[in-house]
Structure 1
Amino acid sequence: MRIAVLADIHGNVLALEAVLQDLQQRGGADLTVNLGDSVSGPLWPRETFERLEALNLPTVRGNHDRRVARDPADDTMWASDRYAQERLTAAQRETLFAQPLTLQVAPGVIAFHARPDHDEKYLADAITDGQLVRAPLAAIRRRLKGLDPACRIVLCGHSHRSELIRIPGGPVIFNPGSVGCPAYDDSTPPAHVSEQGTPHARYGIVGLDVPGQPDRFEIFAVDYDHEAAARQAAEAGRPEWAHALRTGFISG
């Protein structure tokens, strides 16, 4: 069984299309899973929603999906969420909110956006000197407390950082990185950045249940017209997004 894993599209329908095309060229997948944060961002939220709706993928709700769906449109709302909220219908926003927090996508394979019990707290990451880095093993174990012991693979996103971690005596954690947002700046204390380091769209494939072979995990970085995405962000008044889309970094 081949499971394609998408995460953190953030309204970047150009990156999404490039990933879907690349997946098809690699032979496709038996199942494609979306780990949430699908539309928030100064790009193409409605077009992305409609494309994903047509695909009808198993999908979990991300923190920005929840915020787009339910946060009040006032001065406290994050700009990327407001941009998406204004361009989606009420029915589309309710569809986002109705997505589950966790989802079993195959026997022993659990998908969620950030943590199994929270859509906005990091699972495998810590903040050091304003950067996301891998968290200590003990911290990751604590964050997985309460997970079904039968779970052998965890699929998660949120950090936009590609990760593959085998927990001794526990599951494998697989984060494919972000399809559509290669870097971001989070001012929530403690302020930090996440940077993939290139503008590529990232996704993953998990290979399961091949007789005589271990589970296989692959991460792909796909080139696409990131300059067009950067121009869209700039036209929406978000130069910092434009820079991130062009470079994979927040500054420099």
Structure 2
Amino acid sequence: MPAGSTQSGPWLAVLADIHGNLPALDAVLADTRRRGRPDAIIVAGDHTLGAPYPAEVADRLRSVGAVLISGNRDLWLLRAFHGHPPSGWHVGEHCGSGRWTCEQLGEERLRLLDAIPEQTVVHTGGEAPIRVVHGSLSGPAGRILPGDNPAVLARSRLNGEPPPSAGESVAGALSAIAEPVLICAHTHLQWHQRVGGRLALNPGSVGESLCGDPRARYACLHWDGTEWRVSQRAVPYDTSVLAPAFRERGLLETGGGFARATLRDMETGRNFTTHFYRYVAQEAERVGLAEGDVFPDEVWQAAAATFDWEGGAP
């Protein structure tokens, strides 16, 4: 059970969206050990694509016996593994981070990732079961946000994200499942909400927090004898090691603007990635390309050369 608690009973560490960030993951795992080892570690998808430590993250998760599901970025990598890569995969800069990550993971790790389900239900004994998804019940790219949390909704808007559909409300998601607890991820925003005695939560992102500060986020679920109680954590770690690793391991060169935006996300806790993508689309439109086209490297490079890498994300 978490250190300092007067309650007995099992507790679970809930992680998500590590995105290849080993320093952040190790900081979170160390925090769980300081609080008393959890009975299980749940990781709700998007494990390896992002920072320059994908193989190390995959190995670390296997070593701690984590319960894993797939996220949208995991499935994107697996498309290439199965011979159905996105357009431009083999040459395009926009897919450079994906190619680099697959090369680092290698076939054995990719096969292990391929065996992970998109959703799961966690049973820990006599406690109430927990449904785990990455995005929403509709799929790993869905988005659930808490309607009763103005700060989270405001941060989502600053991140450039559209509002969730009515079908992806917390109340709607909880009413659609038999389990009393729903874990989701994908938005990189940390929150929890209770509706009629049932609980939904997003632990936030371990490796690429978009809450406005770069600390590694996760959640603790503690069984109090009748229901799961949630506490949320924000763990500092040394982000200064990331930029040298991006450069020295070759990810920044191979991944171009996408890798640079990911690095800025991790350094700042702000969503440079979405704002950079929008800027790329504006550059593509300027040269006569339509939405849905595969943008050539020249467009990505021109956008990266003029994008505001300091203030381009609020």
Q: Same fold by TM (over 0.5)?
A: yes
Return the index of the structure with the highest Cα Rg.
2
CA RMSD of aligned residues (A): 2.6
Q: Please state if 1:220 is matched with 2:233.
A: yes
The alpha-carbon deviation at position 123 of structure 1 amounts to 2.2
- d(CA) in 1 for partners of 2:213 and 2:122? 30
Q: Please state if 1:13 is matched with 2:22.
A: yes
**Residue of structure 1 in register with 2:198 after alignment:** 171
Query: Residues 98-117 of structure 1 correspond to what in structure 2 (within 5 A)?
Result: 98-106=115-123, 107-117=128-138
Which secondary structure does the structure 2 equivalent of 1:172 belong to? strand
- Runs of 4+ aligned structure 1 residues displaced above 4 Å come to 125-130, 133-139
**Residue of structure 2 in register with 1:83 after alignment:** 100
- d(CA) in 2 for partners of 1:132 and 1:142? 20
- d(CA) in 2 for partners of 1:134 and 1:51? 35
* Greater strand proportion: 1
1:77–1:121 CA distance, 2 compared to 1 (3 A): farther
- d(CA) in 1 for partners of 2:167 and 2:110? 37
Of 65, 69, 77, which residue of structure 2 is paired with 1:68?
Answer: 77
Look up the equivalent residue of 1:85 and give its one-letter code.
Answer: C
Q: TM-score, normalised by structure 1?
A: 0.83
Of 179, 183, 188, which residue of structure 2 is paired with 1:151?
Answer: 179
Native 8 Å contact 1:8 1:37 kept in 2: yes
Which secondary structure does the structure 1 equivalent of 2:169 belong to? helix
The alpha-carbon deviation at position 137 of structure 1 amounts to 6.6
Q: TM-score, normalised by structure 2?
A: 0.68
**Residue of structure 2 in register with 1:37 after alignment:** 46
Look up the equivalent residue of 1:16 and give its one-letter code.
Answer: L
**Residue of structure 2 in register with 1:202 after alignment:** 217
- d(CA) in 2 for partners of 1:116 and 1:122? 9
- d(CA) in 1 for partners of 2:170 and 2:269? 30
The alpha-carbon deviation at position 225 of structure 1 amounts to 1.3
Q: Please state if 1:247 is matched with 2:268.
A: yes
- d(CA) in 2 for partners of 1:146 and 1:214? 17
Deviation readout 1:100-134 (Å, 9 max, x if unpaired): 11111133311111112311111227874763477
Which secondary structure does the structure 1 equivalent of 2:67 belong to? coil
Q: Please state if 1:22 is matched with 2:49.
A: no
The alpha-carbon deviation at position 139 of structure 1 amounts to 4.4
Q: Please state if 1:119 is matched with 2:132.
A: no
- d(CA) in 1 for partners of 2:267 and 2:67? 30
Native 8 Å contact 1:102 1:111 kept in 2: yes
Which secondary structure does the structure 1 equivalent of 2:193 belong to? strand
Which secondary structure does the structure 1 equivalent of 2:121 belong to? strand
Query: Residues 52-67 of structure 1 correspond to what in structure 2 (within 5 A)?
Result: 52-67=61-76
Look up the equivalent residue of 1:115 and give its one-letter code.
Answer: S
Q: How many residues end up aligned between the 2 structures?
A: 236
- Long gaps (5+) in structure 2: 1-9, 147-152, 253-258, 273-309
1:197–1:129 CA distance, 2 compared to 1 (3 A): closer
Native 8 Å contact 1:40 1:64 kept in 2: yes
- d(CA) in 1 for partners of 2:39 and 2:73? 27
- Long gaps (5+) in structure 1: 183-194
Residue identity (%)? 28
1:59–1:43 CA distance, 2 compared to 1 (3 A): same
